């Protein structure tokens, strides 16, 4: 199975110095980041408020790799177009807030971005069943969304396996993204379970050398993928 997938490292700027985002992005790009993960929070769906469209637009001007925008907001349909116009190449929306998930995914695709569904730790994989053929990626939350630096929830490993099975059953080669508590101690487990897009905030920007941390995470993930 490993031959079909490649590891993608997506540093989450939530843990970066917001006063120096350009330098933070440049550092992880030097370390080989494939994507920049942008956590958008509205203070309603999650108990935190972070950044919005203007910041995405600004970092899009300086980032050389695609922006992976994770919308932790209550009404994503109202904002999807603005985020794509601002530079989002990938948009993940939460299944928990969308009664018309299929419509939202196709809206994202029609705008020209890759469409992903994110599920919280307490949301069953069955929430994805009827859109498993429509997604460009699935984002498995391995912490409760809202904050960086939380502890990886071990149950996420079997959840990643179940999502992989569901995608295979639907003939969809979409990659699985894992978000929350991914670091040197957990990365091999999530890759072995079937995730290949690896979001990491604290493990990268909480380290004194974000460039080296990005490189280190990739090496660990690639070794786990080769062994899969
Ligand atoms: C949490 C965010 C994550 C967060 C991950 O709600 O979606 O992207 O930045 O941070 P770490 O890697 O520190 O758990
Ligand atoms: Zn995220």
pLDDT digits (tens, 9 = 90+) for 157-170: 999 999 999 999 99
Q: What is the mean pLDDT of residues 217-228?
A: 96
Rounded distance between C-alpha atoms, residue 2 and residue 8, angstroms: 13
Q: What is the DSSP string of 45-65?
A: SSS-B---HHHHHHHHHH-SS
Q: Which domains does the chain have, with CATH numbers?
A: 8-226 (3.20.20.70)
CA-14 nearest atom, ligand 1 = 9
Q: How high does pLDDT run on average in the chain? A: 97
Strands (DSSP E) contained in the chain are: 8-11, 36-41, 67-72, 88-94, 114-119, 137-141, 176-179, 197-200
pTM recorded for the entire structure: 0.98
Q: Is 92 within 8 Å of 137 (Cβ atoms)?
A: yes
The residues, ordered by sequence, that sit 6+ positions from 67 with a Cβ below 8 Å of its Cβ are: 35, 36, 38, 56, 59, 60, 87, 88, 89, 90
User: Which tens digit of pLDDT belongs to each residue from 1-25?
Assistant: 456 899 999 999 999 999 999 999 9
Judge if the beta carbon of residue 76 lies within 6 A of ligand 1: no
Rounded distance between C-alpha atoms, residue 90 and residue 84, angstroms: 8
Q: Could you tell me the end-to-end alpha-carbon distance of the chain, in angstroms, rounded to an integer? A: 7
Q: Is 8 within 8 Å of 35 (Cβ atoms)?
A: yes
Say what the pLDDT of residue 1 is: 47
Q: What is the mean pLDDT of residues 59-77?
A: 98
Catalytic member of 34, 136, 179, 183: 179
Q: What is the mean pLDDT of residues 65-90?
A: 98
Measure 113 CA to ligand 2 centroid, in angstroms.
Answer: 17
Q: What is the mean pLDDT of residues 74-83?
A: 98
Enter the tokens of residue 168: 């295979």
Give the closest residue to 182 by CA, choosing from 10, 13, 2, 1.
10
Judge if the beta carbon of residue 15 lies within 6 A of ligand 1: yes
Q: Across the chain, how many H-helices and E-strands are there? A: 8, 8
Measure 12 CA to ligand 2 centroid, in angstroms.
Answer: 7
Rounded distance between C-alpha atoms, residue 39 and residue 73, angstroms: 10
Residue 17: active-site member:
no
Radius of gyration of the chain (CA): 16
Say what the pLDDT of residue 4 is: 81
Say what the pLDDT of residue 3 is: 67
């Amino acid at each position: 199975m490993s031959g079909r997938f490649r590891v993608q490292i997506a540093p989450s700027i939530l843990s970066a110095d917001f006063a120096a985002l350009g330098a933070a992005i440049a550092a992880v790009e030097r370390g080989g980041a494939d994507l920049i993960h942008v956590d958008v929070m509205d203070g309603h769906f999650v108990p935190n408020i972070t950044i919005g469209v203007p910041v995405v637009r600004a970092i899009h001007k300086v980032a050389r790799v695609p922006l992976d925008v994770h919308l932790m907001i209550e009404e994503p349909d109202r904002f999807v177009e603005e985020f794509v116009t601002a530079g989002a190449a990938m948009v993940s929306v939460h299944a928990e807030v969308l009664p018309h998930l299929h419509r939202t995914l196709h809206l994202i695709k029609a705008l020209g971005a890759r469409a992903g569904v994110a599920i919280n730790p307490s949301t069953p994989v069955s929430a994805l069943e009827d859109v498993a053929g429509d997604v460009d990626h699935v984002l498995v939350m391995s912490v409760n969304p809202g904050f960086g630096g939380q502890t990886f929830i071990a149950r996420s490993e079997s959840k990643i396996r179940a999502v992989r099975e569901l995608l295979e059953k639907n003939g969809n080669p979409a990659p699985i993204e894992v978000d929350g508590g991914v670091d040197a101690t957990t990365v091999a487990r999530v890759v072995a379970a079937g995730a290949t897009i690896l979001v990491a905030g604290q493990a990268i920007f909480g380290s004194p050398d974000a460039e080296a941390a990005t490189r280190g995470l990739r090496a660990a993930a690639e070794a786990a993928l080769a062994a899969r």
